Structure 1
């Protein structure tokens, strides 16, 4: 009997040890301290997939994968390029900053994955399908018009619906081949979806995401009452076409816009995001319970700081990653963490022309960093992050400017300019909406180390730039950049590697590596070849 009792005690202790997270070993909000807005999420078996918005970047509509809802890894993109219009290729003085593709819808139905998005730039609704969400290939179907913040939905009777709009929400059936709306099926679904948040409307209800749970339909939207904060609104109905009744589901810290996800164990969460200054719009998870057929978000109406989920292992290398630009046979030319600022000119970049280097060659002249093609970017991350590179400028042409940037409308950068036969290290600060050369230092060698450091702690949103001649001793250059999230770009700051010509095309810059760290440091960097 004593032995049986002891065995039971030991088993109970073991059970508690493996089922209750140890203090400090639980997930924290925000879930991802980086720009991952407008999430859509599904679970297929024990695997979660999430799509997000990257607007003017190519490739676009990133797909991330997780086994625990906390640790995510980029696995795919829905498209390489959205289209070939001037706005997307940065031609004829046009750009698609702040536009491109917006909030996506992600679904899995009868063995096929569906990702849909919409774009003011093309004026279309785009639907991408694949049997293998991680490896592709993807097939595109598109139609006019561009349906704002839409949600796809496959109902149990085989019909395919789409809901869209802002304030006044509409619904229609889609053709079976996804080629457009079925004629005669479009109708107003909810005349004023903002109403539950009150009469003082700032941002009308948008960001629709529809779910079906226990036979009922739940439509999630975001609204922003005047003088208030981003607010989650949920409408419920017994039929997909309504009528719908609505209520405010969450109003805390401005955490809003998203939807529902469940775990294989039967737990429920809402995935949402929060405006968080210059780093961008960052994801949160909020526990969900069910009361009287309604999802109840949060703990006593609040977004918790911790979650009973596994702890995050960090955003490196799943969301951002260093790159030595060395490629083994069969590897992709660029890892998924990289995206081009607008559509790239593929003939003008290479990781094979000089082994172990990224080469950016100029193909035209530009007078402004934001107009330049082939800037290669990846996210900054919070609360701190630093990006560094070693740049070979021996093949720049007169008028060329190459280096490391923090990309947003109010950008900052450090690089090498070749002017009047002289190369100089230059820091440019555009926080006043105009590019100001803050400092210039002569460069008498062909290589230089460059670094940008970002401090997003408590929304401090300050960046500083540095250079080194040997990779050991660093010197700050120019002025501090007060980073600001601006709506014309609608995206968190990104590290960017760039090279553009102002006089004669054909020069090139070679980047030896790009290193990203999740902390600030004045120490020297390694990685010299």
Structure 2
């Protein structure tokens, strides 16, 4: 170090130490560069918990844990399957892309944790409760109707409410255990038009309610999207939950919006929000909050800061996404928490024990398309760039079978192996046009092939490239680059997926040796 001082001089060394210190100790927005939308957050003691939306995926309603608001890890899910219906099972030609369970509410009250959501697919509001948020088990109850974007709230007087709706926000009282609507209760309009503070000239109405009580006052957070502008945070406050309410625009910058308030043990305040960010999905931000005249003031001079006075991120691998060698020891979960199935799985048609160290995906029926095939096993992509790879044994495919690696969204991309007339072919399929098109095929003479997909989300490039290898070392591009737009029909960021399905006869299977994810890609 002394020689370094001599060469650089004290001023340069001090600058170097300062820069290194900032890089090591300072958090940056977005705090999670991955699809974690519609967050709800609580603090219990010194520990933070967060829930989010995973739509049509199973298990669902993920629960994450952090000790510093920046570094999060998955600790569980509130449910394994939302319901046993055709649309969630991908049966009888039905699906529930873009629906399933939506924005959740997360609360801790009298020793019990509550995670709630609602679903157009079921037409119900779903309530999940547990005494141990990290280990469960969760008790499930549900009731009609499906209360849109609701916020569960336990008031100081013991009464329990949901605030819900879009534009016109309503209040309904629940039973003491939040298991249903309180008998004899009458719903009431809370705010006639919650969009009013940001203007009422068109755009999307205020929704995404999250209610808080601070120093005896009620604060209601909503997102609105004024016509010709951007996603905007609107806050209303009141002295009584029934109002009257007064509102104001709280943040209008970068389209960062929808969320609520969280405080730290040492008295700091933040707003947790998210931003639409193209193909990677809707990504979380933290915004500092100060208090002025009884109002939470979001941002730094009205702007979302790039850096935060919080510990730096240690990366999303392996706590939100992770590689998997598919080796399992006694007592291990069959699948780590980073994995979710595309819709409900058929548990009779997959295994991590039939062949040691492999994920086996079996075909049990004939399917007409990738998006209607069951048992595609997925996990998030991450930004600003990432790659996912796998080794695939195709020895036991039947004619008409297709197995491989996907980037799942409406405009999906696939690289994999098709078996036709006793021969195997490496293929790349693109649904960039909205319909799947085989872009390239290559004859495959060996039983094992290596597949890789790389994603670039930097500055919303939203571009993917697909590769194959015959030895796991030398990679060859296949097909064409895939543009990855965020589409409302799927309402979710692109996800890596491992898939196998039959188009002629069921009974074949594919073995995946591993899935490996990296936060770097090949530089081109």
The residue that corresponds to 2:127 in the other structure is: 127
The residue that corresponds to 1:67 in the other structure is: 67
The residue that corresponds to 1:166 in the other structure is: 166
Q: Deviations over 1:405-446 (max 9, x none)?
A: 000000001000001111000000100001010000000000
Q: Does residue 1:115 correspond to 2:144, yes or no?
A: no
Q: Does residue 1:250 correspond to 2:234, yes or no?
A: no
Contact 1:194 1:201 in 2 (8 A): no
Summarize the alignment of residues 119-158 of structure 1 with structure 2, pairs less than 5 Å apart: 119-158=119-158
The residue that corresponds to 1:6 in the other structure is: none
Once residues 312 and 178 of structure 2 are traced to their aligned partners in structure 1, the CA distance between those partners, rounded to angstroms, is 40
Once residues 131 and 241 of structure 2 are traced to their aligned partners in structure 1, the CA distance between those partners, rounded to angstroms, is 27
The residue that corresponds to 1:205 in the other structure is: 206
> Helix, strand or coil for the counterpart of 1:265?
coil
User: 1:186: how far off?
Assistant: 1.1
Once residues 414 and 346 of structure 2 are traced to their aligned partners in structure 1, the CA distance between those partners, rounded to angstroms, is 22
The residue that corresponds to 1:308 in the other structure is: 309
Summarize the alignment of residues 345-360 of structure 1 with structure 2, pairs less than 5 Å apart: 345-360=346-361
Q: Does residue 1:219 correspond to 2:203, yes or no?
A: no
Q: Deviations over 1:159-215 (max 9, x none)?
A: 111100000000011012433212233100001111000121311000000000000
Q: Does residue 1:36 correspond to 2:42, yes or no?
A: no
The residue that corresponds to 1:477 in the other structure is: 478
The residue that corresponds to 2:85 in the other structure is: 85
The residue that corresponds to 1:414 in the other structure is: 415
Once residues 178 and 259 of structure 2 are traced to their aligned partners in structure 1, the CA distance between those partners, rounded to angstroms, is 24
Once residues 441 and 205 of structure 2 are traced to their aligned partners in structure 1, the CA distance between those partners, rounded to angstroms, is 48
The residue that corresponds to 2:197 in the other structure is: 196
Once residues 178 and 299 of structure 1 are traced to their aligned partners in structure 2, the CA distance between those partners, rounded to angstroms, is 38
The residue that corresponds to 2:99 in the other structure is: 99
> Helix, strand or coil for the counterpart of 2:480?
strand
Once residues 178 and 246 of structure 2 are traced to their aligned partners in structure 1, the CA distance between those partners, rounded to angstroms, is 29
The residue that corresponds to 2:511 in the other structure is: 510
The residue that corresponds to 2:11 in the other structure is: none
Once residues 519 and 23 of structure 2 are traced to their aligned partners in structure 1, the CA distance between those partners, rounded to angstroms, is 23
Contact 2:158 2:176 in 1 (8 A): no
Contact 1:47 1:65 in 2 (8 A): yes
> Helix, strand or coil for the counterpart of 1:478?
coil
> Helix, strand or coil for the counterpart of 2:114?
strand
CA RMSD of aligned residues (A): 1.3
Once residues 276 and 225 of structure 1 are traced to their aligned partners in structure 2, the CA distance between those partners, rounded to angstroms, is 19
Q: Deviations over 1:436-487 (max 9, x none)?
A: 1000000000000000000000000000000000001100000100111000
Summarize the alignment of residues 3-22 of structure 1 with structure 2, pairs less than 5 Å apart: 22=22
Once residues 100 and 249 of structure 2 are traced to their aligned partners in structure 1, the CA distance between those partners, rounded to angstroms, is 30
Q: TM (normalized to structure 2)? A: 0.95
User: 1:21: how far off?
Assistant: 5.9
Once residues 200 and 27 of structure 1 are traced to their aligned partners in structure 2, the CA distance between those partners, rounded to angstroms, is 37
Contact 2:56 2:96 in 1 (8 A): yes
Q: TM (normalized to structure 1)? A: 0.94
The residue that corresponds to 2:10 in the other structure is: none
User: 1:24: how far off?
Assistant: 4.9
Contact 1:260 1:271 in 2 (8 A): yes
Once residues 301 and 495 of structure 2 are traced to their aligned partners in structure 1, the CA distance between those partners, rounded to angstroms, is 36
Once residues 468 and 117 of structure 2 are traced to their aligned partners in structure 1, the CA distance between those partners, rounded to angstroms, is 41
Q: Deviations over 1:349-401 (max 9, x none)?
A: 00000000000000100010000000000000000000000000000011000
User: 1:522: how far off?
Assistant: 7.0
User: 1:23: how far off?
Assistant: 4.9
